[in-house]
Amino acid sequence: MVWTLALALHFLQEDAASVPPANTASSSAIAEMIHNSGPVAFAVLVLLLLASIFSWTIMLSKWSGLGRADKQSKRFLRAFRKSSRLSEVATVAEQFRPSPLVSVFNEIHDEYQRQNGGRGLPRNPIALERAAATASSESLTLMESRMTWLATIAAIAPFIGLFGTVWGIIDAFHGLGTAGAATLRAVAPGISEALITTAAGLVVAVPAVIGYNQLTARLREQGARMDDFGRELLNAIENAAMVTPTQPPQPPTPTYAAEELPRRRAF
């Protein structure tokens, strides 16, 4: 009895060692399905792969750029709030160039200089507000570049995968008609193409949708931050101009001619 149990355990161990791992089997099955795909399904998969690479490139570059902009904006705000003169901020503003707040500051500062040389109350505050709005719009438009491509990929990737799905179903029915019998061997290639293209479309679309929504929210935050900074800068200009003491005009010193000076009395 003991020898029988030992022999059975030995055979079970050999069978377990001969079975490949689940991950290896699944990965090899996916690779085999891709390899056995038809030209249309393969073209769909290549197109989805290129779209996925492009979308991830956009997301990573935008995420990195917005991170640098946030970091430089915080540093610029600290420097701006510590300084007491706009000229001092203007000299160091270029150090924080990745920040969109620098563009807003430069536009307002330049307009303020054109109006009255950077001293006193601005003659046209509405022009300063327009300069701030223009700078904010230009910076936001620059940061939103290529976002439409990300939205397009997120929208059309499932439909590209659906096209591969429909083509795979057509191929499956064609194989069924050619074989003349409803067998699994006749419909398996077409069904596998349909399923793998559907999965590929979802794999491309889902990260693109998530990335687009997250980046859009961060861009809205950048726009609101630029608007707030523009109002803060305008308030700082008006407050600095109002608290600047103005020297009253001094009366002219009277001058006398030599013959008009009073003569001293001789004793």
**What residue ranges do the domains of the chain occupy?**
37-242
Q: Is the CB of residue 59 less than 8 Å from the CB of residue 150?
A: yes
Tell me the average pLDDT across 119-126: 82
Residues 6+ apart with CB under 8 A from 99: 69, 72, 73, 75, 76
pTM above 0.75, yes or no: no
Distance of CA 161 to the CA centre of its chain: 26
For the stretch 144-166, pLDDT in tens is: 999 999 999 999 999 999 998 88
For the stretch 51-101, pLDDT in tens is: 999 999 999 999 999 999 999 999 999 999 888 788 888 888 888 988 999
Q: Where are the alpha helices (DSSP H) in the chain?
A: 2-18, 22-35, 39-82, 86-92, 100-116, 125-143, 147-179, 184-243
Q: What residue type is assigned to position 115 of the chain?
A: Q
